[in-house]
Structures are given as structure tokens and as C-alpha cells.
């Protein structure tokens, strides 16, 4: 039997201070609810931050995210589910990106979530990138010292539209979600930026991560206002 076509969806919600307790509660409960939702093969609830140091000081308690991989035919139902409606009810702004995976290297929680890989359908499409790493505890301090030059490179990249830090925990499980004008713009940052090239070399020689993933997506649709940390 042929498997259902999948789509990757990224949500980001901004909330007010009084909704912070709801956000913490939902981070726990929605992990369970989303995994039980018919059609979802992968889901992660995410905190957000600036991504400047990848330490707890980066955390933004007024912005939260979610990444799910779901059957295309179930997307509309999930978008109107109790999970999303509860966030939407308490949010001051919502951002949603529909994504098609172009490449994915590595694992997220011991799985390859963004398969199967698709071909680029629109050569002029914007590109999204998700990075995620599980940092070895004995390398945290060294990793944090190495991050600032890479962040400076990232935010000064001419093809960058927006970038945000994401994480499943305050420390140790860190990543980024970024939007780019084109596939070539992302490649220029990844392979030509000097700080990023040094970081790649250090990753190989030092072995910062016990698990890492880099995934690249074609942006199919963007909906909603661009939330504050998703802006240059």
C-alpha cells in the first residue's frame, strides 16, 4: 500500500506574559496530544530564543514553536485541531510555514523525520533550514564560546530573510530555524562564510555533538505575520 504524501509544518506563536504558564503546560501536554493525532509521524514542541549564545539567557518566554510532519490530507484538520486552536486563542501573532524537504542529514531523537526527500519544484522558491544538535555536556562551555562569530555571520548574510533560535530544553538541545531568499543564498552561508567553515571543522575535530541534524526545505507557503524574532 502506498504511503500518504507528507508535508512539514512549522508554527511560531507569540504570547503575552499571562499566558506563560499555559505555554509551559502545553509544552508537556501537546507532546503527547500531537503524537496521537492521526497522520502525524513526527512532532516537536519548541522554545525559542535569539540563538546568539545558545544558553538559557537566549530564551524568549513570549514566543514558542512547533514542527510537525503530517499527511497532507490531514493538514487542514490539524490546523483546526484543539492543539492549534488553544495556542491561537492565546497568541498575539501566529506564523506558519508549509515546507517540502529537499535534503536532510543526521538524526533528531534517533529518527530521520523529514523523509522522503523531494526535488525543488520552483527554482525561485524561498528556502527554509532547520538545524538541531544534542550537545555533549562536557563540551557546552567550549561550544558557547565558539557560537558568536557564527551568529554574526548568519545575521550578516545577504540572502537571509529571518532566523530564530529553537530548542527542546534550556541547554544542550539547540538549533535554528531560518528563511532564505534562495537555495544559493543558503549555500553561500553554509560553505563560504568563514566563521561557519571554522565551526564545521571544529565539529569534526572536537566532536561537540552526540546527535545533529541539518535539513533544507522548499517553502511552499507562508501564512500570518512574521513574529518578532523572525525579522532582521
SS (H, E, C) the chain: CCCCCEEEEEEEEEECHHHHHHHHHHHHHHHHHHHHCCCEEEEEEEEEECCCCCCHHHEEEEEEEEEEEEEHHHHHHHHCCHHHHHHHHHEEEEEEEEEEEEEEEECECCECCCCCCCCCCCCCCCEEEEEEEEECHHHHHHHHHHHHHHHHHHHCCCCEEEEEEEECCCCCEEEEEEEECCHHHHHHHHHHCHHHHHHHHHHHHHCCEEEEEEEEEEEEEEEECCCHHHCC
Confidence band, pLDDT 50/70/90 cuts, at residue 176:
confident
What distance in Å separates the CA atoms of residue 120 and residue 117, rounded to the nearest whole number? Answer: 10
Cell numbers linked to 42: 513526527
Which is higher by pLDDT, 172 or 78? 78
The answer to whether residue 34 scores a pLDDT higher than 90 is yes
The answer to whether residue 171 scores a pLDDT higher than 80 is no
Q: What is the pLDDT, as a whole number, of residue 40?
A: 97
What are the residue boundaries of the structural domains of the chain, listed by start? 6-221
- What are the pLDDT digits (tens) for 54-96? 566 678 899 999 999 999 999 999 999 999 999 999 999 999 9
Sequence-distant (≥ 6) Cβ neighbours of residue 138 within 8 angstroms: none
Q: Report pTM.
A: 0.85
Contact predicate 160/232, CB 8 Å = yes
Q: What is the pLDDT, as a whole number, of residue 51?
A: 59
Contact predicate 1/77, CB 8 Å = no
The answer to whether residue 20 scores a pLDDT higher than 70 is yes
What is the CATH architecture of 6-221? 2-Layer Sandwich (3.30)
Cell numbers linked to 47: 522554545
- What are the pLDDT digits (tens) for 177-206? 999 999 999 888 876 655 455 555 555 554
Q: What is the pLDDT, as a whole number, of residue 224?
A: 83
The answer to whether residue 101 scores a pLDDT higher than 50 is yes
The answer to whether residue 163 scores a pLDDT higher than 60 is yes
Amino acid at each position: 500500500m502506498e504511503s500518504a504524501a507528507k508535508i512539514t509544518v512549522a508554527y511560531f506563536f507569540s504570547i503575552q506574559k499571562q499566558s506563560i504558564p499555559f505555554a509551559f503546560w502545553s509544552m508537556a501536554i501537546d507532546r503527547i496530544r500531537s503524537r496521537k493525532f492521526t497522520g502525524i509521524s513526527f512532532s516537536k514542541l519548541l522554545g525559542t530564543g535569539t540563538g546568539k549564545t545558545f544558553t538559557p539567557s537566549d530564551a524568549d518566554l513570549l514566543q514558542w514553536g512547533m514542527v510537525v510532519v503530517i499527511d497532507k490530507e490531514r493538514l487542514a484538520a490539524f490546523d483546526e485541531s484543539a492543539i492549534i486552536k488553544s495556542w491561537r486563542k492565546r497568541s498575539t501573532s501566529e506564523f506558519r510555514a508549509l515546507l517540502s524537504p529537499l535534503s536532510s542529514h543526521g538524526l533528531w531523537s534517533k529518527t530521520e523525520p523529514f523523509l522522503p526527500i523531494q526535488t525543488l519544484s520552483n527554482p525561485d522558491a524561498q528556502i527554509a533550514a532547520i538545524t538541531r544538535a544534542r550537545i555533549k555536556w562536557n563540551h557546552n562551555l567550549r561550544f558557547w564560546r565558539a557560537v558568536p562569530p557564527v551568529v554574526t555571520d548568519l545575521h550578516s548574510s545577504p540572502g537571509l530573510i529571518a532566523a530564530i533560535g529553537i530548542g527542546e530544553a534550556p541547554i544542550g538541545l539547540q538549533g535554528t530555524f531560518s528563511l532564505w531568499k534562495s537555495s544559493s543564498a543558503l549555500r553561500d552561508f553554509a560553505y563560504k562564510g568563514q566563521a561557519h567553515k571554522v565551526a564545521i571543522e571544529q565539529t569534526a575535530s572536537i566532536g561537540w555533538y552526540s546527535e545533529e541534524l541539518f535539513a533544507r526545505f522548499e517553502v511552499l507557503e507562508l501564512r500570518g505575520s512574521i513574529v518578532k524574532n523572525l525579522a532582521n
